[in-house]
Amino acid sequence: GFSRRGVRGSFVPPIKSSGGNVGNVTSRIAGKCDDSLDDSTKRCLEMLYGPDGELPEKLRNLEPRLIEHVSNEIMERDPNVRWDDIAGLEHAKKCVTEMVIWPLLRPDIFKGCRSPGRGLLLFGPPGTGKTMIGKAIAGEAKATFFYISASSLTSKWIGEGEKLVRALFGVASCRQPAVIFVDEIDSLLSQRKSEGEHESSRRLKTQFLIEMEGFDSGSEQILLIGATNRPQELDEAARRRLTKRLYIPLPSSEARAWIIRNLLEKDGLFKLSKEEIVTICNLTEGYSGSDMKNLVKDASMGPLREALRQGIEITKLKKEDMRPVTLQDFENALQEVRPSVSLNELGTYDEWNKQFGSLS
């Protein structure tokens, strides 16, 4: 309109489109002057500046320091996990590819009847690769990855969680396609109504559900992944929004063998025979992927400990003199590294999976 024209009648953009004039951006967001913001905050804001020189509407009423926290701490530039790094879980990989990766890569095809759910729940015992899957999805779909642990929202960000959630979804919507991974989502969307449930945690939960609703209906390319090892704590509202629910179980015997081989080969320490691998796999029934990693780490210390026992000084130890990792090293390590998941926990997952899990 008329008010946007200068004295000479030339168009004056509401904010400079060069991107260099951060002052305008920041004052627009927070109504603050430049001096209150440090350089890194300014840089974060600059990056989010649209090509038209406008700050996206979603970010205008957010506090710059929260936007900065999201950009620097929650957003991961390169999660660097590929499908091939994840042992087993073939079924989950196949489902996820169809349900979320294809839609993120081809939004034009996946609309109407094919429009995907925007919420995915990964549940199962701890240390089974749920976070890895989240990162791999972002990598395969060329999406920006955001990682937040829900318990940090309630503990570290007391009273501010709500604002941080808004900043998180705001920045994600400026960085599409985006994958938002919420670890321990049960602590945010739990059905437990303890008497002492604070007003603030109720508001946090409401805000979170509102944000999810917001991108669920629209054309936004945002996927929310919740991970939990306590799926039974989720309430009905949470289940409704996390439409796909995949069980991520303990690794099979083959997957455990794969983890051992993969980790040792990377370091050139792999010399075990097929039979020895089978023996180790039989001894590690019930170990999670993360337990297996710890086991391999401990076993790979075997050759080193032995050399030191023989009196060789650590400073004089030659790498080429160290022997490969043996079955005996694993047998010793098995005494140290015990499985972290108990059998009766597994029954709970199976039951919940039967009742609420997605089969395909």
Binding site for ligand ADP (CB under 6 A): 86-89, 126-132, 227, 251, 255, 259, 289-290, 293
Nearer to ligand ADP, 167 or 257 (CB): 257
Nearer to ligand ADP, 84 or 313 (CB): 84
Least separation in angstroms between residue 39's CB and ligand ADP is: 33
Nearer to ligand ADP, 132 or 150 (CB): 132
Nearer to ligand ADP, 57 or 90 (CB): 90
Closest-by-Cβ residue to ligand ADP is 289
Least separation in angstroms between residue 142's CB and ligand ADP is: 20
- CA 64-67-69 angle, to 5 degrees, is 110
Least separation in angstroms between residue 259's CB and ligand ADP is: 5
Least separation in angstroms between residue 231's CB and ligand ADP is: 13
**Hey, what are 237's tokens?**
């509202």
Least separation in angstroms between residue 84's CB and ligand ADP is: 10
Least separation in angstroms between residue 129's CB and ligand ADP is: 3
Nearer to ligand ADP, 66 or 250 (CB): 250
Nearer to ligand ADP, 140 or 162 (CB): 140
Q: What is the 3-state secondary structure (H, E, C) of the chain?
A: CHHHECCCCCECCCCCCCCCCHHHHHHHHHCCCHHHCCHHHHHHHHHHCCCCCCCCHHHCCCCHHHHHHHHHHHEECCCCCCHHHCCCCHHHHHHHHHHHHHHHHCCCCCCHHHCCCCEEEEECCCCCCHHHHHHHHHHHCCCEEEEEEHHHHHHCCCCCHHHHHHHHHHHHHHCCCEEEEEECHHHCCECCCCCCCCHHHHHHHHHHHHHHHHHHHCCCCEEEEEEECCHHHECHHHHHHCCEEEECCCCCHHHHHHHHHHHHHHCCCCCCCHHHHHHHHHHCCCCCHHHHHHHHHHHCCHHHHHHHHCCCCCCCCCHHHCCCCCHHHHHHHHHHCCCCCCHHHHHHHHHHHHHHCCCC
Nearer to ligand ADP, 89 or 238 (CB): 89
Least separation in angstroms between residue 296's CB and ligand ADP is: 9
